[in-house]
Chains A and B, each alone.
Chain A
């Protein structure tokens, strides 16, 4: 029977709802439109700052630099190497832990019919516990983990590395488990039918298939780790962020630009290499011509080989061993006794709520927490939520609008291989716009949001706008990439049909790609929204009222009990965001026609 259900237009409603929601967030965050534009002072700074972009410094700008100072290039090189070193150490520590967490929180290796109830129950309980641990680990931002470790143990490289590794292991674990669970199960079922054990069937039937995805995500996290390591400089670790901050404070803009270009170059090199490694892993190497005599050894000699992943593996092992062994000793400065006494003081005195320190009764912490929460916590949490949400909506909407122009296969001379006229100028415009936008996406997502917010803050003045814009710019780049994967790599026969019927490129996007992949896009929206909330909790460290600000302020006052309380509050906000996004994403996944 033909159904005549009233047309509900969920997609349109969702998009239209985002605009009032954006306005609401901006209004509630008490932002004025006029603050969006730089004031007179900011304008001057802006001009000076961008003028310096064309002339990055090749030597120290400080005229009073002593002769004995190391050459400028050494300083840049060292700042970059320190950043890279922290990222490599953190990721190499996170990867095995992430794999273990991912394995334990995945159902893909469970035996199909377990004989005993006890086994089933044990598996289910383990899964719950591991998932809780990964959520908790991720909910505290790596900067906050670093602050906690530095405060509790004293500054040392290993503390920073461990601090970075905690949220990274948990993120890897979570995404790994999702990747393992989403693989087709037929190969595993088959191996099982041959008498393969649960683990062996999983290893060959699921793990081998997911390997490309796992490597690809690890490379992406490595890129993120470089960004995280860079911004750790803002809390005093000797990475490139520290130099950027001081260069700015000293008004050495040319030096600043050199540092920015260097950081960008490092991230771009990693980004591009992971792009090629991914490509090499998903594409199959070409087949060589056959040998004269067919024998296993002769065939083996001409077998198609993948060189890039192997070379990369050797390079990665080398880089990792150098990173762990060179430079500052990992456990510098402090003895273990000092460290232990630091930790004891941290736990028993500093973070213990003030009333409890006095009375020794933990019940006294309740009114204290309630007061902190109601007087400052609620407002700051809401502010954090508004900033994160506004940034994500902005990034998403601008992303949706620019997506058809950035698509490699749509905004092209022959969209999806279909001849579309031979106007040379027009064809060139198509090519150039898509190239430009894709370069813009890479540039936007390469810049750490914290750094963007820091720079914008100086130009636009102390409002929440720079935080929103910094987050939005970074996430715009990510939405561009994720959206690009949908418009370029999916099976888009319906889009081809529209073009073949005489539709233009924009119609192909609006009436075919957008409706077909809308759920997927919304899925990405919520995935990034969750991350935006997490990042918004630390952007306040830059001095704008939100949770990060309260954390920073409590530390400045040496009130570590309040400091710790607000960190916990930030973790709660992130977990609530995570939970909400999880529910929506699960529902979307079930409705999505693609999955």
Chain B
């Protein structure tokens, strides 16, 4: 399966809703997953792992969707550090929304990788390695600007997992729904 970004975005939104995230958080997660995938990160696997963890009750205070949303909402002026996280890649791309809100640039570290997010672009730099899982602080951008990656094959297992969660948002097919739900009952062979 080589998905389009539209398909990544749509599946991510439905899968998040399917495991019980709110509609609004699912929207943010969907955008973050698609953006990360566009930049070459395997956010499909990251999201599948997160949703599986949530499903099995292993997510509590370290959910990247909740933390990322609050981080963007609260627009912190002092450095942020998170030490444990499930699927931290997703937090990177949710946090990448923050420059679009504030108009400022930020330095974001993810394990040993260092990124700079501006309102328009994302940069990766060879800064000093960091041992915290995730840090964020205002900073001027530097490093190499990241470019969209070519389309590529998604992990079949991760895609199947997301598809399974997404299918929970579909109402079961019934004859009455088929008849009344979409305006049928008319002849189309005319």
A binds B: no
* Residues on B facing A (Cβ under 8 Å): none
* Residues on A facing B (Cβ under 8 Å): none
